């Protein structure tokens, strides 16, 4: 009597299962890179926006503002010097893919003028690459290197 039954062997079933499992692990690996790159770009945009807002507030309100970079605390603090409880005061927390290269830096915007002067800078490592944010206090100019 001949056995003409057709079907998957155990080895074939395990091979199909291994291929399916490997296809399931590819998207999370790729999405980590995308998430990290997105966090870095979002950090850059938030930093630009916060520096601009801090400068604008100083110029328009006539009150002195401060930006304080803290590598140890992994944040940048934006604040009004004369009103520490104001809703403008906030912190920009570094995402996991970002770290500061300098320990601590403090920048002040003078009320009314914004104190135009030479370019100041903050250096970071974003996704393993060096990025320097240069800005000119008072003029609103900034650039990334």
This prediction's pTM = 0.76
Q: What is the pLDDT of residues 42-75, one digit of tens each?
A: 999 999 999 988 888 888 888 888 999 999 999 9
Write down the pLDDT at residue 110: 81
How many residues appear in the chain?
145
Q: What is the pLDDT of residues 110-144, one digit of tens each?
A: 887 766 667 788 999 998 899 999 887 666 778 88
How many CA within 13 A on the CB side of residue 91?
Answer: 10
Q: What is the pLDDT of residues 31-47, one digit of tens each?
A: 888 888 899 999 999 99
Look up residue 70 and give its two tokens: 């803290």
Spatial CA neighbour of 131 closest among 32, 38, 41, 31:
41
Q: What 8-state DSSP symbol labels residue 61?
A: H
Higher local confidence (pLDDT), 92 or 8: 92
Q: What 8-state DSSP symbol labels residue 94?
A: P
């Amino acid at each position: 009597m001949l056995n003409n039954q057709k079907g998957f062997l155990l080895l074939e079933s395990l091979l199909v299962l291994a291929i399916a499992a490997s296809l399931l692990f590819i998207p999370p690996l790729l999405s980590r890179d995308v998430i990290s790159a997105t966090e870095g770009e979002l950090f850059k945009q938030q930093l630009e926006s916060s520096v601009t807002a801090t400068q604008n507030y100083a110029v328009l309100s006539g009150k002195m503002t401060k930006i304080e970079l803290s590598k140890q605390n992994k944040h940048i603090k934006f604040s009004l010097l004369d009103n520490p409880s104001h809703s403008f005061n906030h912190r920009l927390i570094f995402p996991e893919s970002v770290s500061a290269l300098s320990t601590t830096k403090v920048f002040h915007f003078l009320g009314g003028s914004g104190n135009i002067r030479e370019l100041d800078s903050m250096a970071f490592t974003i996704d393993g690459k060096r990025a320097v944010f240069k800005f000119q206090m008072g003029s609103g100019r900034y650039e990334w290197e």
